[in-house]
Structure 1
Amino acid sequence: MIFEEYELPKAAKDSILVRVRRTNVCGSELHIWKGLHPTKKSGVMGHEMVGEIVELGEGVTTDYAGQPVSVGDRIAAAYFLTCKRCKHCLQGYANLCENAYEYWSKEAHEYPHFHGSFATHYYIHPNQYFYKVPDNVPDEVAAGANCALSQVYFGIEKSGLKYGDTVVIQGAGGLGLNATAVAKMFGAKVIVIDTVPNRLALAKRFGADEIISMDKYKTVEERVEKILSLTNGVGADVVMELTGVPAALAEGIHLIKSGGKYISIGNISPGKLTEFDPGLMTRKNISILGLIRYEPWYLYKSLKFLSSNIDIYPFSEILACDFTLEDLTKALDASFNRGVTRASIEIEHVN
């Protein structure tokens, strides 16, 4: 890991300079680190973060929800742009903005240098949605609102999940645990599948009605049988793939009822293949929806969700919070080896 130092940039019109307080290692960072990300191969890493406003550019007086902001306020920002003028934005697909990664993939030597949150500071550009963090939401929890919580909140709403539905969540990492809590808010029955015992135990504390260990139910057939036994022989209304494991996609269509919906969020690496039964997909009339990023206002919804549920779910326990910026390689290693559910890095500042 290489660190570089630069003078702090001035916040230009409609832009903000923030001091990073805490940042997390998301699965996307692991993909980048291992050369498996579809678009970003180098450049400043880090995007899940909470920061403190250092300087407001001309014209910035409120966040994107209209809340007044000033120097010293804590904010969270979507890591991508929403230009509002490209073909996808104009058609209502803000999460697919063609200019989303205009700054995210830049190298550190390119001004304004602070393109990612694995740094002491972070630069927020025009058309980059940001919101104030509620006072009762601590840094370590707020940092995960973008992107883990916002991503799964978006996915659950797109799935059409309703009160009384059953959702199967493949993977109990940061995405899966957040999805469990959101799905419970919707009034769903939640079943979580994973291999790691401590993650499954934490899923129960996030509201999972049932947990399925892949160490106990070792084959797809055994897991299908278990899901059917928990759904009166019907299958789940919704299945969410939040693992990043291609084989999960092939398994998922076996877990879902006829006419159900499958949401895939975890698998983004190019060239990773799995055997798939398209005939089963057709016979069961399954809708499969792959989702990248989220509509940026879901970040606001996620922060409100955290504020309302901060005393209900153990959000802080998703994170291993004893890393500093100097420990970044250790944090990446621990995340990649599943030694922690989600590594979180506190950025120390010398006054």
Structure 2
Amino acid sequence: MRALVYEKFQGTLAVQEVSDPIPKPDGVVVKVAATGLCRSDWHGWMGHDPDILLPHVPGHELAGTVATIGKNVTKFKIGDRVTVPFVCGCGICRQCTSGNHQVCDRQSQPGFTHWGSFAEYVALDYADTNLVTLPQEIDDLTAATLGCRFVTSFRAIVHQAKVMEGQYVVVHGCGGVGLSAVIIASALGAKVLAVDINPGQLALAKSFGAMAVINASGTKNIIDEVKDITHGGAHVSLDALGSAQTCFNSIANLRKRGKHIQVGLMTEDHAHPKIPMDKVIAEELEIIGSHGMQAFKYPELLKMISDGKLHPKKMITKTISLEEAATALPTMNTFTTAGVTLIDSF
């Protein structure tokens, strides 16, 4: 099969002919129809993930068709259209049996723990636990936006933050995760404020339902600006980027008893950010992590998409080929593009 491969971290990416994957007894191989280009893939290419072994094929947001099935798979058959969370649970550890597959003790992640979806085919483990059947009305491009960014934001907004109509929700960072959060929180009736340094991303956030936007590069005091617009601070604030500054701002711009949701990955020098703990204690703030979403939680999301309440496809601004991804992936940290880019030509 054709796959996009890198043989050293921060090295050249090239399309190569490699062996087709073989499913494990409890897994499947999926023929990829579309796959998202995500900043998490950039983190992997940079060498920020210790699970990655070289040479490596990135990619973890995908939609496709089951092509081969392991002998122990019972719930899916060849030809089924499916997607999958970026965190695949084993189904039997203590976390999974409590319903928390997203923090599985033995999790697998396509594009990280093994070769991913920047290829014609991808192997997926623990298929009966992790595969999600796609409704006919949800096309492959829409489905490929879900696996990381959209479902991560859905769980962060709906299940972790429990956002309610009328609340002020602030989103720091308007990449794929942030724009997803804007769409979801707006659909729930929240009053959303989006913060970013990219005017194009802010324009998208506004078109997706944000009541107001702040260009962080031209604002002297983001925290004061947020508190002014939200009449005292956010009920819920997300760091959707993952930097020491956005994390601090997201906590500091909360109103009393507000919730900070950390969604953006914190790596390298940003892994242990400064936190205004005096404010956390005095104002009874909540700091909550959010890491993906379980496969069995997808039906609620898929129904909202099918019913026309959520429109993740709006985020797609470009589709590219596997060859074009070789130059697009290394630039994911420049924040110069707007919206979500998908690979749909292999």
Distance in 2 (CA, whole Å) between partners of 1:117 and 1:257 is: 41
Distance in 2 (CA, whole Å) between partners of 1:60 and 1:190 is: 43
Q: Identity over aligned residues, as a percent?
A: 26
2:284 aligns to what? Answer: 285
Q: Shift in Å at residue 186 of structure 1?
A: 2.0
8 Å Cα contact 2:236-2:258 kept in structure 1: yes
1:162 aligns to what? Answer: 164
Q: 2:107 aligns with which of 100, 106, 110?
A: 100
Q: Shift in Å at residue 3 of structure 1?
A: 4.4
1:250 aligns to what? Answer: 248
User: What are the superposed Cα offsets for residues 261-283 of structure 1, whole Å, 9 maximum, x if unpaired?
Assistant: 10001033144254332212222
Distance in 2 (CA, whole Å) between partners of 1:10 and 1:251 is: 46
Distance in 1 (CA, whole Å) between partners of 2:130 and 2:276 is: 40
Q: 1:162 to 1:97 in 2, by over 3 A?
A: same
Q: Which amino acid aligns with 2:189?
A: G
8 Å Cα contact 2:41-2:58 kept in structure 1: yes
Q: Which amino acid aligns with 1:122?
A: V
Q: Which amino acid aligns with 1:159?
A: A
The secondary structure found in structure 1 opposite 2:292 is coil
8 Å Cα contact 1:38-1:270 kept in structure 2: no
2:186 aligns to what? Answer: 184
Q: 1:38 to 1:229 in 2, by over 3 A?
A: farther
Q: What is the 5 A alignment of 1:31-42? A: 31-37=43-49, 39-40=51-52, 42=54
The secondary structure found in structure 1 opposite 2:43 is helix
1:266 aligns to what? Answer: 264
Query: How many residues were matched structurally?
Result: 329
Q: Which amino acid aligns with 1:129?
A: N
Q: What is the 5 A alignment of 1:87-236? A: 87-101=94-108, 105-106=112-113, 115-127=115-127, 128-156=129-157, 157-216=159-218, 218-219=219-220, 221=221, 223-232=222-231, 234-236=232-234
Distance in 2 (CA, whole Å) between partners of 1:139 and 1:259 is: 40
Distance in 2 (CA, whole Å) between partners of 1:238 and 1:154 is: 14
2:6 aligns to what? Answer: none
Q: 1:82 aligns with which of 68, 82, 89?
A: 89
Q: Shift in Å at residue 170 of structure 1?
A: 0.7
Greater Cα offset, 77-86 or 238-247: 77-86
8 Å Cα contact 1:142-1:303 kept in structure 2: no
User: What are the superposed Cα offsets for residues 305-345 of structure 1, whole Å, 9 maximum, x if unpaired?
Assistant: 332338x7472443321x21112221213423223233211
Distance in 2 (CA, whole Å) between partners of 1:10 and 1:275 is: 45
Q: 1:29 to 1:239 in 2, by over 3 A?
A: same
8 Å Cα contact 2:59-2:117 kept in structure 1: yes
Unaligned runs of 5+ in 2: 1-12
Distance in 1 (CA, whole Å) between partners of 2:265 and 2:21 is: 35
1:66 aligns to what? Answer: none
Q: Does 1:52 align with 2:65?
A: yes
Q: Shift in Å at residue 29 of structure 1?
A: 0.5
The secondary structure found in structure 2 opposite 1:181 is helix
Q: Shift in Å at residue 145 of structure 1?
A: 0.8
Q: Which amino acid aligns with 2:136?
A: D
The secondary structure found in structure 2 opposite 1:345 is strand
8 Å Cα contact 1:80-1:104 kept in structure 2: no
Unaligned runs of 5+ in 1: 64-69, 108-114
Distance in 1 (CA, whole Å) between partners of 2:203 and 2:209 is: 10
Q: Does 1:16 align with 2:28?
A: yes
1:305 aligns to what? Answer: 304
Q: Shift in Å at residue 104 of structure 1?
A: 5.4
The secondary structure found in structure 2 opposite 1:309 is coil
User: What are the superposed Cα offsets for residues 21-46 of structure 1, whole Å, 9 maximum, x if unpaired?
Assistant: 11111121011111223543643311
Distance in 1 (CA, whole Å) between partners of 2:242 and 2:50 is: 13
8 Å Cα contact 2:65-2:82 kept in structure 1: yes
8 Å Cα contact 2:49-2:112 kept in structure 1: no
Q: Aligned Cα RMSD in Å? A: 2.5
2:5 aligns to what? Answer: none
Q: Which amino acid aligns with 1:168?
A: V
Distance in 2 (CA, whole Å) between partners of 1:277 and 1:185 is: 31
The secondary structure found in structure 2 opposite 1:215 is helix
8 Å Cα contact 1:335-1:343 kept in structure 2: no
Instruction: Give the TM-score taking structure 1 as reference length.
Output: 0.84
Q: 1:301 to 1:39 in 2, by over 3 A?
A: farther
1:296 aligns to what? Answer: 295
User: What are the superposed Cα offsets for residues 199-245 of structure 1, whole Å, 9 maximum, x if unpaired?
Assistant: 111111211111112133x22x3x2232222222x211100110122
Q: Which amino acid aligns with 1:131?
A: V
The secondary structure found in structure 1 opposite 2:117 is coil
